[in-house]
Structure 1
Amino acid sequence: MKALVVEKVEEKKFHCGVKEVEIPTLEENEVLIKVSYSGLNYKDALSSIGNPGVTRVFPHITGVDLAGTIEKSSSEKFKEGEKVVVTGYDLGMNTNGGHSEYVKVPASWVVNIPVGISDKEIMTYGTAGLTAALSVNELLNNGITEGKILVTGATGGVGSIAVSILNKLGFEVTAISGKEDKIPFLKELGASEVILRNDFDIENKRPMGSEKYDGVIDTVGGNILAEALKIVKYDGVATCCGLTSSFQLNTNVFPFILRGVRLIGIDSVECKIEKKIKAWEKLANEFAIDTLENLTTEISLEEIKEAYDKLLQGKAVGRYLVKI
């Protein structure tokens, strides 16, 4: 079968390219999936350059999410021919991932694709869409059902889908982006206001600012999240799912103890399978957006390496969909 393989050439030097590899053999409680689509995520790009925080086992096939059809099953949970989606856990990290024609995974990682959505559509959402849905769910579940929401890293995969979902649900969305030329793109997705990153990412020594947003969906971390927390309204909610700006958070306790602000971490990797199932069902129904085609660039296995370069340089916009 064909796969996108990362190989270690020497210490701190890696090669990434498409090659022929053996179809994996099933063990107990595993399924073999014929992959139709996979996504492209920042974590995949880090894996492609041998980032030890993501991947330590080489040679390695990238791809932290996939959609396809059960080819073989050694589990009672799944039968041949079922349409399924897999995201998170160790997929694409130290377990071979979705950038290949066939993948074997534990049955416990697998979710049936909900009725009303195709394998292509669900993988257009992919890990980014799942993370966005989990983030929006946390706002709703914590009483944020209307008002103004700030979305950081808004031209990225998670951010762009979050903007679209929030707009569909009737929120007033302010987007933060470092890409001035993508302001029209963000407004097409539903942002009523766009703030350029350099105008927001300024360290402010004041412990708090004026109350402005009912909620925040943060995808970048660092000082941008720290500044966003200072302007969340009383009893507001901020979710955090990324670190492309920084993994550090230098903040103070005032927003939490004076305004009751809640900061909620979002993890789409190890979260319970029941939580993933509910999020996918919402993406197939009330969270379904009509801007998917605007968010997506479809590429082949052979085009992944070039896309990785864009992701690592911060030049990517929206979602990459990999047709296998």
Structure 2
Amino acid sequence: MTIPQSFSAFLTAEADTGAGVQEVSSETLEADELQLRVHFSSVNFKDALASRPDGKVARKTPLIPGIDLVGEVLADAGGFSKGELVISHGYDLGVAHHGGFAEYARIDPAWALPLPQGLSPRESMIFGTAGFTAALSIMQLEERGLTPKDGPVLVTGATGGVGSAAVAMLAARGYTVTASTGKKETAKGWLMALGAAEVIDRVEVPEKPKPLNSQNWAAAVDSVGGAQLAQVLSEISYGGAAAISGVTAGPKFPGSVFPHILRGVAILGTDSVQCDIARRREVWEQVAGRLRPAKIDDLCADEISLDGVSEALEQIFAGQMTGRTVVRLA
């Protein structure tokens, strides 16, 4: 089997109008070696940015967004066998290279890894880039020495993809998790069901922040950034760390050196885009193993077809999306 001459895909346009599901030619895809029938993708904040000309993410137009996918190999290539299921995410996928919002894809084999045993294709995209980032964050913290005995771990942006996955994974590992969210009233029950011991409002940033505050958290998984990150760092216990991966509150934060030079607090940058493929394999094995939550489906807020992608992207811009939304292709 090969990629058909035409198939359905969500395609962006140069103007704000015109993005949507279309029949596209197989010649639209890049001439990469690995041909895939896409089974699932998922909706991410980066996909929303890539879908708009002013999002400053897309590096080609028109573009098929979708920064992650899981699919079936159509022909032997690049060390993969026909019929094998593979995951791909990050690199240029969905930003400078056509991505997962399509029934078929062609990618560089170096961007793919085998679907880990113990995860179904759908489950892998319930995690997707967000779950991968959450897992990598936790692994970095534990590689630095964090254990459940050290005290509570704060997760900011807890209703988002990274945050909700981090809550569930940390709870599965036996950590006491405090979930911070701007949707406390509507999401508290859901976050508690994921494993949070406590749900709090967004970390409050005083008008005149202090460089050091009470030592409240053994560590933090932060996908928010901005001034909130500076406040979080001021509250981490001696020798702790924050694994950071997001900028929903902005890329700049008015931080102080004091948490780092007086308490030894570390900032661990968490990159899911250019992460080495060997490290990716390791992380996904952990997702399928010791970091796997008891109820993966609890992370999935919705499952849509390509026809639902436009609405899902608008929900992201409106701040209305909670948890993970999976896109079913096959």
Q: Does 1:294 align with 2:298?
A: yes
Q: Could you state the TM-score of these two structures normalised by the residue count of structure 2?
A: 0.93
In the comparison of the two structures, how many residue pairs are matched?
A: 318
State the shift of 1:205 in Å: 2.4
Q: Does 1:273 align with 2:283?
A: no
Q: Specify the code of the residue in structure 2 equivalent to 1:276.
A: R
Q: Does 1:87 align with 2:89?
A: yes
CA contact (8 A) 1:27 1:74 kept: no
**How many percent identity over aligned positions?**
40
State the shift of 1:115 in Å: 1.3
Change (3 A) 1:273 1:310: same
State the shift of 1:16 in Å: 1.5
Cα deviation 1:28-49 (Å, max 9, x = unaligned): 6x20110000011000001111
| Structure 2 partner of 1:190 | 195
Cα deviation 1:70-111 (Å, max 9, x = unaligned): 013442x11211110001000000100000011111010000
- Which of residues 9, 12, 24 is equivalent to 1:6? 12
Structure with bigger strand share is 1
| Structure 2 partner of 1:157 | 161
State the shift of 1:156 in Å: 0.4
State the shift of 1:14 in Å: 4.3
Change (3 A) 1:208 1:6: same
Structure 2: unaligned runs, 5 residues or longer = 1-6
Q: Could you state the TM-score of these two structures normalised by the residue count of structure 1?
A: 0.95
Q: Specify the code of the residue in structure 2 equivalent to 1:151.
A: V
Q: Specify the code of the residue in structure 2 equivalent to 1:53.
A: K
CA contact (8 A) 1:14 1:48 kept: no
Q: For 1:15, what is the secondary structure of its paired residue?
A: coil
Q: Does 1:125 align with 2:131?
A: no
CA contact (8 A) 2:172 2:294 kept: no
Alignment of 1:31-180 (within 5 A): 31-51=34-54, 53-75=56-78, 77-146=79-148, 147-179=151-183, 180=185
In 1, distance between residues paired with 2:18 and 2:59? Answer: 14
| Structure 2 partner of 1:253 | 257
Cα deviation 1:116-155 (Å, max 9, x = unaligned): 2111111111001100000000111000112210000000
Q: Specify the code of the residue in structure 2 equivalent to 1:43.
A: K
Q: Specify the code of the residue in structure 1 equivalent to 2:153.
A: I
CA contact (8 A) 1:129 1:157 kept: yes
In 2, distance between residues paired with 1:204 and 1:103? Answer: 51
CA contact (8 A) 1:160 1:295 kept: yes
Structure 1: unaligned runs, 5 residues or longer = none
- Which of residues 290, 313, 325 is equivalent to 1:320? 325
State the shift of 1:294 in Å: 1.8
